[in-house]
Structure 1
Amino acid sequence: MEQPIGSGSAGWHLSAGGGWQDRAVRDLDALLIDMDGTIVDSEPYWIRTEGELVAEFGGTWSAADAHSIVGFDLLDAAAELRSRGGVDLEPPAIVERLLDGVVERCRHRLPWRPGARELLEEVRDAQVPCVLVTMSWRRFADAVLAAAPAGAFSGSVTGDEVEHGKPAPDPYLAAAALVGVDPARCVAIEDSPTGVASAVAAGCTTIAVPHVVAVPEIDGVHVVDTLDGVGLAELERIVRTRR
C-alpha cells in the first residue's frame, strides 16, 4: 500500500517500506518510469476516449490532434480538447470525463508493453527503487499500480500532484527527491517527446521507447525499439556511458 509522504511533498506517494534503505552501491540509484505508452499500452484508450468526447459535442478530432497531445499534463490536454475539439466543459471536468473512459477500458484489459513487467520485476528483485512518473491523475495511476508486480514501485508522482507537468522537469525532480537520490544517478524511461524533455531537463539519464508518436533525436538520449530484453545491466551500462 502507498502512503502520502510528509509536508512539502505535494501529495506524492511513497510505498510502505520505501525500498531504498538497503540500496547497494551501484551505478544506478533509481529507475523513474513513465506509465502511458511506456509500461502500459493505454494511449489508444486515451485517443479513443478523446474522440468520443469531442464527437459528443459535435466537434472533430483527428489522429494528428490526438498525437499532438501525447504525454501532456492532463489539464493542458483538456485545454486543447476545449479549444480545438469544441468540448464545452471546463478543463477539470474534461479530465474527469477522460479518466472515466480510460479507467473503464483498463478494467476490462490492462495492456502491458513488451518487456515492461519483466524489467520492473528485475529492478525490484535487485532492490533498486522504482518510481512511477505519470501525467495521468492519481485514480488511474493507482489502478495500474495495483496491477503491477507486487512491490515493483517504491513510489509514484502523478499529474495532479505537481504544479508544473511535463515537459517541465518538476515531475522527475519530485520522483528523485521522493526516494532521496540525485536525478543524475537515475534512469528515466519515456515514450513521448514531452516526457523525454521533462526527464532531460531534470538531469536524468534518459531512455526513449517511441510508441504512438516519434521522439526526435536529442543528444544523450538513448533510443530503444522496445523494453523487451532491456534489463538492469543495460540500464547501468547506459548510465556509465553517459558519465
Structure 2
Amino acid sequence: MVTNRRSGALPPAVGDQTSHLSGPAAVLWDMDGTLVDTEPYWIATEYEMAERYGGRWTDADALNLVGNDLRTSGAYIREHMGIDRDVDDIVEELLDGVVRRVREAVPWRPGAVELLARLRADGVPCALVTMSYDRFVAPILDQLPPETFRVVVTGDRVDRGKPHPEPYLTAAAALGLHPEDCLAIEDSNTGAKSAEAAGCLVLVVENHVPVLPGDRRVFAASLEAVDLAEVWSLR
C-alpha cells in the first residue's frame, strides 16, 4: 500500500481521480538506491580511498552523499576525508571502484525489474535520471532489455545536478512531456527535491536514508507490486 505523508490518510480509490490521465504519462527513474542498491558499493569505495590516502571517513559522511551530484560528492570527500586530491580525480576513482563492483554483480532493488517490465508491456515510456556518469550507467543498462529507457540523463550530461530540477526537466522534455504528467521514483531527499521542483509527482521508496514528507511526495515501502494508478491518484 502507498501512503500520502501530507495527511497520513489512506489513499482514495483509483476511480476518484480527477485528471484525464489514469496513470502517469511516463515514469522517470532515479538509479542509485532506487533501481539498483549500489550505495554499499559507493561506501566501500569511499572507505578504500580513505585507507589509500590516509584520510578519515565515517558512515555518517557516506550517507551525507546519497543522491548528490558526483562533483559535489567529490568536493565533500576532499574536505571531510582530508585528502589532497583534485575533485575530478576523486570522482574518477570513485567510479573506477563502483564500476568494478557492478560488473561483478548488479544489485537490483526489490520489484524494480518487474515494474520496468510491466511498464514496458503497458507502453508507458521510462527515463533514467541519475547523477552517476555514463560509464557507470552502461554496465547496468546492459543487463536490461534494449530501449528499457527511452531517455537517459546522467550527471555528466547536465549543467546543474540534483537537487536542482534540471535533470528531471531535461528528461521530461526529451520525452516530449510536461513534468506534471510524469511520475518520478526516488529514494533520497536530494532526488525528491529535484523531481518535485521540476513539477513531477514523486514516489518515494526509502532505502539508506529517511526522506522528509512533501506536498508532491507519495511513499511506498517497496516497488514490489506497487500500483502506480493508486500512486497517481494521490497527486
TM-score normalised by length of structure 2: 0.88
One-letter amino acid of the structure 2 residue matched with residue 95 of structure 1: V
**Gaps in structure 1 of 5+ consecutive residues:** 1-24
- Greater mean deviation of Cα atoms: 191-200 or 26-35: 26-35
Question: 1 CA distance for matches of 2:229 and 2:95?
Answer: 35
Structure 2 residue corresponding to 1:180, chosen from 176, 181, 186 = 176
Contact 1:117–1:149 (Cα < 8 Å) also in 2? no
| Shift in Å, 1:177 | 0.6
**Matched residue, 2:234:** 241
Structure 2: gaps of 5 or more residues: 1-20
Q: Quick check: 1:45 aligned with 2:37?
A: no
Report the 3-state secondary structure (helix = DSSP H, G, I; strand = E; otherwise coil) of the residue aligned with 1:121.
helix
Q: CA deviation at 1:90?
A: 1.1
Corresponding position: 1:81 with 2:74? no
**Which residue of 1 is the match for residue 8 of structure 2?**
none
Instruction: Tell me the equivalent position of 1:142.
Output: 138
Runs of 4+ in structure 1 off by over 4 angstroms are none
Aligned counterparts of 1:206 and 1:74: Cα–Cα separation in 2: 22
Q: CA RMSD in A?
A: 1.2
2:123 equivalent in structure 1 = 127
Matched pairs, number: 215
**Which amino acid letter does the alignment assign opposite residue 241 of structure 1?**
L
Superposed CA offset, 1:85-104 (max 9, x none): 02321111111100000000
Q: Secondary structure at the match of 1:132?
A: strand
d(CA) in 1 for partners of 2:83, 2:187: 27
Q: CA deviation at 1:26?
A: 5.3
Deviation at 1:109, TM superposition (A): 0.7
Task: Spell out, residue by residue over 1:134-158, the C-alpha distance to the aligned partner (whole angstroms, 9 max, x if none).
Answer: 0000111111111123432112000
TM-score normalised over the length of structure 1:
0.86
* Cα deviation, residue 203, structure 1: 0.5
Equivalent residue runs for 1:1-243 within 5 Å: 27-230=23-226, 234-242=227-235
How far 1:183 sits from its partner (Å)? 0.4
SS of 2:208's partner is coil
Q: For the residues of structure 2 that align with 1:211 and 1:28, how far apart are their CA atoms?
A: 23
Partner of 1:21: none
Q: CA deviation at 1:161?
A: 0.6
